[in-house]
Amino acid sequence: MSEPVSTAHVVNVRGYLAVFAALLVLTVITVAVASLDLTESATVAVAVTIATFKATLVAMFFMHLKGERPMVFWSLGLTGILFAALFAFVLWTEGDRLAGTRFLDAFGSAPKTAPSEEPASPKPQAAKEGGH
């Protein structure tokens, strides 16, 4: 007779606690960076970098990607590339509104705006006497 095969998942509590501690430390660092006197773009860049490290920790340990085969990483990488491409496409198509682009006419000059006119108020019509 053969021995029964154990399919139980080995839980490394010490590793989970270390990742949890790292996530807490990175969260505190993110809050501390937000209170520094940095430019808005620098603050966002640092916060996104820290968030990327945190997401990597969660994916590698809590989603058990650390011990997966390379094929899983290829599909994960392809998903990331497609996400970045779609995000770049949205920024490319909507980016002119963010930059305040002026639209030009066919001759290269800005279209003239009509002078502001007050809307004409409708004149009250006199009630007609007689029938309906």
Q: Is 45 found in the same domain as 89?
A: no
Are residues 59 and 21 part of one domain?
yes
Residue 79 lies in a domain: yes
The answer to whether 50 and 30 have CB atoms below 8 angstroms apart is yes
Q: Which of 25-39, 61-75, 108-122 has the highest mean pLDDT?
A: 25-39
Read out DSSP for 52-112? Answer: HHHHHHIIIIIS--TT--HHHHHHHHHHHHHHHHHHHHHHHHHHHHHHTPPP--TTSSPPP
pLDDT per position as a tens digit, 3-41: 766 666 677 889 899 999 999 999 999 999 989 989 988
Residues 54 and 78 in one domain: no
Q: Identify the domain containing residue 19 by its residue range.
A: 11-64
Give the pLDDT score at 102.
Answer: 62
How many folded domains does the chain comprise?
2
pLDDT at res. 127 = 59
Taking the model in full, what pTM does it have? 0.54
Residues 17 and 59 in one domain: yes
HEC-encoded secondary structure of 26-39: HHHHHHHHHCCCCC
**Shared domain check, 83 and 54:** no
Same domain, 25 and 44: yes
Average pLDDT, the chain: 80
In-domain check, residue 112: no
The predicted model gives 86-114 an average pLDDT of 71
